[in-house]
Structures are given as C-alpha cells and as structure tokens.
C-alpha cells in the first residue's frame, strides 16, 4: 500500500551513495526463498523482495532507493523509494553504530546478487555505471569517493554491536565485489 510520508522523514543532504548486496537487507528468523536471496536466477525477483519487505517484515516502505537484478538476458534497475526519503535500513545501522552517522541520509542501491558466492559481472558494472551511478554522481555533484560499498564503511566492532542489538539483519562481507571495477566503468560513462 502506498504511504504518504511526513516532512520529517525526508533526506536533507545528498552526500553519499551506498551500494550493498540485497542479501544484507534480509532479516534472520524470517523467510525468503534462498534462490531469491542469491540472485542470478534470470527471473524477476524484485516483486518477491517487495512482498518480503511489505508482508513478511510488515514495513511501510522499502529499504532501498534502487534495486538492480539480472532479468532474462540483461540487468534492470527498479526504483524502490524516492531519492527524497531516507532508507530505514541505513537509519537502523547508524542508530546502532554499525556505520558512521554521516551515511544516515545516503542513497541506497541494492544489488540482487550474492557476492559472497558470485563475482560481479562486467555487464552489471557497466549497467550500473551508465544507467545509475554516473547520473547520480552528476545530479548530486559527488566525487568518486562519495560512492561507497557497505563493507568499506562498517565501523570496527560492527558485528558485535549488530548481534547485541534488536536488529536481525544478516550482513555478510562481499568477497567477490570489487569497487575498483565499478569506479573504472563509471569513468567511461561519466555524464559531465
């Protein structure tokens, strides 16, 4: 169901773009089919993710601003919440000192692949750079260092704080995602 947001729920600053694998948004003790969490299914999973957030978790809004997945033969990008609204996922991580406060109002991009098992494909890097990252960089006048991966901004001791909090996120390090590859592709598609 569409929710009208209060003024106080809006993002005030456009300082960072954070990329994460969609599986990090999954909460332990809830149910989502494992093949949807892993991605690489070549089928539409965004609908299942939305149902998971809205029905299983009973959230009134989605946690990410954008979602990308492999659909049929190429990657697609879906809009989650509007850029003007905050991500509850990032707010939760900041409030529990899992990531620094400066990332509270960032734009969040979720990738529908499990980078603990699969390497990021060049086509996904190209697609993200051309269709999303380079335009966001231009729109918000961001430097390359303002586009970060979640793994790179986790605070020391984050795992213990996450485990002792009320949060149930299943955050895992992404062994097979190389941000340098994405930065390199972004330079090819810069919109300036």
Domain boundaries, given as residue ranges, for the chain: 7-188
Q: Residue 109 forms beta bridges with which residues? A: 19, 66
Rounded CA gap, 110 and 19, in Å?
6
pLDDT per residue as tens digits for the range 123-168: 999 999 999 998 998 888 888 889 999 999 999 999 999 999 999 9
- For residue 41, pLDDT over 70 is answered with no
HSE-CB for 127 with a 13 A CA cutoff: 17
Nearest-10 Cα torsion for 103, 105, 110, 115 = 0
Name residue, tokens 């149902």.
51
Structure tokens at 2: 């569409």
Rounded CA gap, 143 and 55, in Å?
37
Strands 66-71 and 74-79, by their bridges, are antiparallel
Rounded CA gap, 91 and 95, in Å?
6
Mean pLDDT calculated for residue range 27-44: 83
Rounded CA gap, 118 and 92, in Å?
27
pLDDT band at 2 (very low <50, low <70, confident <90, very high): very low
pLDDT per residue as tens digits for the range 54-80: 999 999 999 999 999 988 888 999 999
Answer yes or no: are the C-beta atoms of 82 and 69 closer than 8 Å.
Answer: no
In CATH, the architecture of 7-188 is 3-Layer(aba) Sandwich (3.40)
**How many residues make up the chain in this entry?**
192
């Amino acid at each position: 169901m569409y929710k009208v947001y209060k003024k106080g729920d809006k993002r005030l600053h456009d300082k960072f773009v954070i990329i994460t694998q969609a599986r990090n948004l999954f909460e332990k003790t809830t149910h989502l089919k494992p093949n949807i969490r892993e991605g690489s299914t070549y089928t539409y999973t965004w609908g299942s993710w939305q149902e998971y957030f809205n029905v299983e978790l009973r959230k009134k809004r989605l946690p990410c601003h954008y979602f990308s997945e492999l659909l049929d033969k190429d990657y697609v990008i879906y809009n989650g919440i509007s850029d003007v609204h905050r991500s509850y996922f990032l707010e939760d991580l900041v409030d529990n000192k899992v990531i620094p406060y400066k990332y509270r109002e960032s734009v969040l991009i979720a990738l529908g692949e499990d980078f603990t098992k699969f390497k990021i494909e060049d086509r996904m890097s190209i697609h993200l750079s051309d269709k999303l990252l380079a335009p966001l960089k231009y729109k918000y006048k961001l430097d390359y260092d303002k586009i970060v991966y979640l793994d790179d901004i986790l605070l020391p001791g984050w795992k213990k704080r996450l485990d002792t909090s009320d949060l149930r996120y299943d955050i895992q390090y992404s062994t097979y995602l190389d941000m340098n590859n994405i930065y390199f592709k972004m330079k090819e598609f810069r919109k300036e």
